[in-house]
A and B are shown apart, each in its own frame.
With several copies, the nearest count.
Chain A
Amino acid sequence: MLKNEKLSDEKFQAIRKEVLESWPTGAEVDIDEAVEYHKLHMADRNVPKRFLRARAEGDILIQPRAGISPINACIDLLQHLQDEGLADILPTSVDSYTRANRYKDCEEALGKSEREGRSFLNGLPVVNYGVKNLRKLVESLKNPMELRTSSVDARLSAEISLAAGYSAFIHGPICPTMHYHKNAKLGKAAEYYQHIFRLLAVYTEKGVPMTADVFGTFSNVGVPQSFIFSNVIIEALMAAAQGVKYIWPNVIMQGNLVQDVAATQVLPGLVQDYLEKFGYKDITLMTIANHWTGPYPIDPQGAYALDAINTVAAVLGNADQIMVKSLDQGLALPAKEANGAALRFTRLMIDYLKKQKVAIGGDDLEIEKAMIIKETRQLVDKMLEMGDGDPIIGAVNAYEAGVMESPFSSNVNYNRGKVMVARDSEGRCRYYDIGDLPLSKDIVKFHQEKLKDRIQKEKREEDDINLITDSILSLSRGYLV
């Protein structure tokens, strides 16, 4: 039965056996051999170590999202993003078949690609390539690597990529369940991610530090940060329970400087508090600020501008890494040049800003911080309550009961469509309808007054539906409010 405690060695090995036997390349995975490989070949390309160095130097790292097939094209792409884009951490996104564990389909697509000379996969099928091939890619680059899947069951991808030299892995169970699947169940996903977190910890215990990049859930429509953070905290507690020592809590920039800085600044403290509450020690947290993950402007100048304000907020919020959005994000699959340009642009903005200590926001910032902290605690504490103290059981129960609801989730199991969000007159994200979220009356009132204020200022009708549409689309239209 699901429980937030460290997998026993037997259980872990039993799962691994099953997972590794599910596709031939699984046989290439040998943790001890992989640990040696990491120590010999990846020592200066280890994600957690790179972050510790950056923090000592007062630097902020950048990472794109990228991944294509076949592997040689992927190497070209990542080399470009590294050398021209100046990316510090290199990603590999897997394709949709891999996400769905349809390795057979990957194989067919790879064959067809070879025959027809063009790709039929929207990412790199890391499982099909296997450890040996993937190591070629890893060795062709000089920077550390993170694997990016958004699968409910990403276990084999994790086994293979970590053995191949990757040292960070994205996601816990929540985001893939809420935003990438129609029917997935959170409880099942949580089991799968326990294995991945345990795997990261095992490597770390054997002397190869590995990072769990806990994303919580997407903000695609402009969601109050507390909602995202409550999910991040659950996943951080899950990772910590498996023994993970390097955790990346994520925050998504939403366009309002004060609110974004407030969020970025409070996130690590909030996560730390809960880790301590559960007695998890010696965990290093690094804050990952994401450029806005919702709809982007189609105009490349708009994308530059949105990347710019997101970068300012991330730097002023003391993020450790910025996840960079490509300039063609609003338009089509990122081309290498547009992705490289966005990275290089972000890198240079960081270099202009990183030595500047800028106090921002004043009392206004303090209010936003206090609200985020208070709201997050109410959400997390309710989940803990619903799990009798167990965060993951609590999260599953809360989501099943609709007490937690990810706005505009794709998953029919968890989308009651009650929670609705909108931006206030300064573009800050507020609850339009709180649905069944467990938030206290004063908080609800705070949000509603902010929205009322906008409705009045802009002389809108009380129930103007365009308020929601305008809020969701404003950044993609090239303005905030």
Chain B
Amino acid sequence: MTINIVTGVIGSDVHTIGSKLLSYAIRKAGFNVTDIGVSVSQEELINAAIETNSQAILISSLYGHGELDCRGFRAKCIETGLNDIKLYVGGNLVVGKIEWPEVEKKFLDMGFDRVGYPGMTPNQVIEWLEEDLK
């Protein structure tokens, strides 16, 4: 059974490389990826997940407004019936030099299941997916 996944870059962020690279790698690893590109809204991500019957949404945010852009995302997922969906987020999530554990905690508290860090490898993300979804 193929597993469906949605990827995209949230907010008005145009940084596409990390997200594209992830999509490319995850696809190669056997997942079915729908990459909806840069500058997407929470709604666009959720709609894509519903349409494709996806089990995970992988959100990238590089430009620093990740916290703002992701606020309330888990609630919105539940609202639309995506109760069990895995939510990952990664990139340069905040503005300013904040220690990693603090950043991670912030996003875990916001309801994300996994928080990607700058410089991490796509392989690590694949491992997470395999752990969480298989």
Contact = CB atoms under 8 A, between A and B. Distances in A.
Chains A and B bind each other: yes
Interface of A: 96, 122, 179-182, 220-221, 294-295, 298, 328, 330-333, 408-410, 412, 415, 417, 465-466, 468-469, 472-473, 476-477
B93 to A, nearest CB: 11
Nearest to A409: B16
B12 A96 contact: yes
Contact of A181 (B14, B92, B95, B119): B14
Contacts of B28: 465
B21 interface: yes
Contact of A298 (B12, B37, B118): B118
Please classify how large the interface on chain B is, using the bins under 10, 10 to 19, 20 to 34, 35 or more. 20 to 34
A466 B123 contact: yes
A410 B118 contact: no
Interface string B65-108: 00000000000000000000000000010011100000000000
Contacts of B123: 466
B64 A333 contact: yes
25 contacts: A122-B64, A294-B17, A295-B17, A330-B118, A331-B97, A331-B118, A332-B92, A332-B96, A332-B97, A333-B96, A408-B16, A408-B20, A410-B16, A410-B38, A412-B37, A417-B20, A465-B28, A466-B123, A468-B21, A468-B24, A469-B21, A469-B25, A469-B121, A472-B21, A473-B121
B119 A477 contact: yes
Contact of B17 (A181, A220, A417): A220
Task: List the 10 shortest-distance A-B pairs measured between CB atoms, nearest first.
Answer: A410-B14, A410-B16, A182-B39, A465-B28, A410-B38, A408-B17, A332-B97, A182-B38, A469-B122, A412-B37
A180 B14 contact: yes
Given A221-B17, A331-B97, A476 B24 contact: no
B15 interface: yes
B22 to A, nearest CB: 9
Contacts of A328: 97
Interface in B20-54: 20-21, 24-25, 28, 37-39
A466 B119 CA distance: 14
B15 A410 contact: yes
B31 to A, nearest CB: 13
A223 to B, nearest CB: 12
Contacts of B39: 182, 410
Contacts of B96: 332-333
A341 to B, nearest CB: 15
A138 B94 CA distance: 32
A154 B21 CA distance: 30
A328 B39 CA distance: 25
A410 B28 CA distance: 21
Given A331-B118, A332-B92, A333-B95, 15 more contacts: A220-B17, A295-B17, A298-B119, A330-B118, A408-B16, A410-B14, A412-B37, A415-B16, A465-B25, A465-B28, A466-B123, A468-B24, A469-B121, A472-B17, A473-B119
Contacts of A409: 16
Contacts of A182: 14, 37-39
A412 B122 CA distance: 23
Contacts of A331: 92, 97, 118
B27 to A, nearest CB: 9
A473 to B, nearest CB: 7
A52 B118 CA distance: 35
A122 B68 CA distance: 15
Contacts of B20: 408, 417
A425 B122 CA distance: 22
B14 A179 contact: yes
A472 B14 CA distance: 18
Nearest to B25: A465
Contacts of A181: 14
Nearest to B92: A332
Which interface residue of A182, A328, A417, A476 has the most chain B CB atoms within 10 A?
Answer: A182
Interface string B113-132: 00000110111000000000
A465 B17 contact: no
Nearest to B96: A332
Contacts of A476: 119
